[in-house]
Amino acid sequence: MGAADVIPGVSGGTIAFIMGIYGELLNSIKSINGEAFRLFFSGKFAPFWKHVNGTFLASLFAGILISVFSLARLMKYLLEFHPIPLWSFFFGLILASAVYILKGLDKWNIQNIISLLVGVATGAFICLASPGQTPDELWFIFLSGAIAICAMVLPGISGSFILLLLGKYAFVMTAVSELNIPVLIVFAAGCAVGIVGFSHFLSWLLKKFYMLTIALLSGFMLGSLLKVWPWKIPGAADGFDYPALPGTFTQVTGLESQLGTSIAFAVLGLVLVLAIEFFAVKEQK
């Protein structure tokens, strides 16, 4: 999840979903409520730890933090020097993940189809949006963290890409690389506030409208494929990267499309999802 959250266009929520921990993640975060604070501040630390599923959350977020801090430089390097194989890998991973999630739909009806299409349109719209110019003040860093973390727990909506749209991706990645503690503390505080509040809403949606929500989340993932398409042509005027076919990409940019390598990495992403699904089912049995 940490590796995915570093990449603009790839959602950590997608990884949680295909690994079979998405429901437990939402429920654990949702349990950080008034009762949890009452237990903590009354000194009942063991009941507090059990109430919030502390072992699960601590293990998960420790893994995410280790991955973010250790892979931030690597991912920036891969994005700069090997973008096509990297995007191809995530394209295969996300496509397979969307199909995997859609398998959870018991039936197809007009409501589920509309929900899926709304998700696709929303995901595509977010991918086509242009990054904005925003302030670097700490209050906006807090707000950016609160907004981005909501996207990070949504399959198909990338928290890193939301940071990119808010004009804060490079700023936060620099803070991570340089260990800018004040910025990281404020950003983490925003994330904490945002994820606790949003988890309640999303958990309620999954409980009341499970099929519609699954269709919507799958649509988000399919729409986000536009962002992770491996071949993009930079727009000189607006700075937006336009998706293109491999041949067109080579004609316009003069760069190799690396088609064979791209297919291999896309298949690798697909196989990874199948392997995760296989071991998740085996573990459940």
pLDDT, tens only, 196-247: 888 888 888 888 888 888 888 888 888 878 878 899 887 655 556 778 899 8
- pLDDT at residue 259, as a whole number: 92
Averaged pLDDT, 257-284 = 83
* Mean per-residue pLDDT over the chain, rounded: 82
Percent of the chain at pLDDT exceeding 90 = 18
Residue 282 confidence class, pLDDT cut points 50, 70, 90:
low
- The residue-averaged pLDDT of 179-184 equals 89
Q: What is the pLDDT, as a whole number, of residue 76?
A: 74
Per-residue CA distances from 25 to 123, 196, 202, 218, 244 (Å): 22, 11, 11, 18, 37
- Please state the rounded mean pLDDT for residues 95-115: 84
